[in-house]
Structure formats: structure tokens, C-alpha cells
């Protein structure tokens, strides 16, 4: 099986529609060996986590999805480590464009190779990403619970990390926890 992230244009769906959209997309592939793992609803796109058999052509597979929304793009998931600086830069771009699941995956390789405060910082960003994945699936309570864990990781850590303002991150996450209202966070 090959795993892909598929992006469809989102011009009408809200987070509350996540389960409905997941059901609709899974229904498109009931007669195949394609696995629809999950769907996340961002501001401008739907992110579909899909696995297809090795002998399937991705292009033919994607054509069915256009009944839901226009295709924006896709990529095959690879597990290669890009190096620390490249990974952090790429993860920031992903995070700030609401591709939280991929942010988590990209940073995990760096996190495994880190120590001390750097490990805590990376773990915090990974947890914030994971929390926001749950938010995209309309699971706000789970999101806030994970954000609490992320905030603990930043305890006693201040300043910048590769251009990421940790004080701003702490303030933004604290505001979400205190108000219970999840807003877009950038790093």
C-alpha cells in the first residue's frame, strides 16, 4: 500500500462537517481496496489521508474525489529525514498553512534526535500540531486537552527557536485554553 495526502478545495465545509465528509468519501471507495484513514477540514482545503494498493494509479483514484470538491494537490507520504534545519523550516511552512498532521510527521525525526530543552520545544510544537489536527476534525475538547500538555512542555522556556517566537506560542496557546475558543495559531 502507498499512503497519500490529498487536498481538495474547501469553499463550503466547516469542521462540524468532518464526519459527514469522511462518510461521503469512504462511500466513494466501498468497492475497492482503498483505505480512507481520515479527513481534516482546514480553512481553504480538505486533507484526506488515503492508502491505495501498490498497483493502483493515483490519478484514476483521485478522479472520484472531484465529486466532493476540486482537487488542489496530492503527495505520497515518505518517511525520509531531511535534516534538522530543513525539517524545521518546512514544518513551519506546513504549520502556518494548516497542514498540522504533516507538521507533526516532519518534526518527529528532529525530535527523536534532540535533547533537553530542544526536545521539550519540539515536543510542544508536535503536541500543538496534534491538537490542531483534532480541531480540524471538530474535536475541540481533545484539542484543548492536548494543548494543555503542550503548554507544560514550554514551562520555563522562553525566546526564539529557529525563528519561532516561543513566548507568542505560549501566549496563543494559553488564550485558547483559557477561553475554550480555538483560533489559528502561527509559529
Per-residue pLDDT of the chain (187 residues; tens, 9 = 90+): 999 999 999 999 999 999 999 999 999 999 889 999 999 999 999 999 999 998 888 888 888 999 999 999 999 998 777 899 999 999 999 999 999 999 999 999 999 999 999 999 999 999 999 999 999 999 999 999 999 999 999 999 999 999 999 999 999 999 999 999 998 899 9
Over residues 144-171, the pLDDT tens digits come to: 999 999 999 999 999 999 999 999 999 9
Q: Are residues 7 and 67 in the same domain?
A: yes
CA distances from 3 to 13, 20, 75, 79, 164 (A): 24, 22, 9, 11, 30
Which domain covers residue 97, as residue numbers?
Answer: 84-179
**Would residue 187 count as lying in a domain?**
no
Largest pairwise CA distance in the chain: 53
- CATH number for the domain including 148? 1.10.3450.10
Q: Examine residue 47 and state whether it is found in any structural domain, yes or no.
A: yes
Taking the model in full, what pTM does it have? Answer: 0.93
Rounded Cα distance between 137 and 46, Å, is: 11
Q: How many domains does the chain have?
A: 2
> Quick one: 93 and 136 in the same domain?
yes
Which residue reads 521539550 in cell numbers? 120
Cβ within 8 Å of residue 131, ≥6 positions away: 142, 143, 144, 145, 146, 147, 150
56: CATH: 3.30.70.60
Q: Do 90 and 137 fall within a single domain? A: yes
Q: How many CB atoms lie within 10 A of CB 20?
A: 11
Amino acid at each position: 500500500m502507498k499512503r497519500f495526502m490529498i487536498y481538495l478545495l474547501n469553499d463550503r465545509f466547516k469542521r462540524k462537517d468532518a464526519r459527514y465528509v469522511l462518510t461521503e468519501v469512504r462511500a466513494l471507495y466501498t468497492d475497492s481496496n482503498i483505505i480512507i484513514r481520515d479527513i481534516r477540514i482546514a480553512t481553504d482545503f480538505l486533507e484526506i489521508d488515503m492508502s491505495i494498493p501498490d498497483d493502483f494509479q493515483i490519478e484514476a483514484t483521485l478522479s472520484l474525489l472531484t465529486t466532493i470538491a476540486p482537487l488542489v494537490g496530492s503527495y505520497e507520504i515518505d518517511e525520509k529525514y531531511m535534516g534538522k534545519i530543513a525539517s524545521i523550516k518546512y514544518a513551519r511552512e506546513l504549520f502556518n498553512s494548516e497542514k498540522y498532521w504533516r507538521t507533526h510527521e516532519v518534526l518527529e525525526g528532529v525530535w527523536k534526535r534532540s535533547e533537553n530543552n530542544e526536545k521539550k520545544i519540539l515536543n510542544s510544537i508536535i503536541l500543538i500540531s496534534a491538537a490542531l489536527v483534532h480541531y480540524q476534525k471538530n474535536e475541540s475538547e481533545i484539542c484543548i486537552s492536548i494543548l494543555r500538555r503542550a503548554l507544560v512542555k514550554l514551562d520555563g522556556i522562553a525566546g526564539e527557536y529557529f525563528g519561532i517566537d516561543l513566548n507568542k506560542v505560549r501566549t496563543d496557546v494559553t488564550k485558547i485554553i483559557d477561553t475554550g475558543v480555538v483560533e489559528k495559531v502561527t509559529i
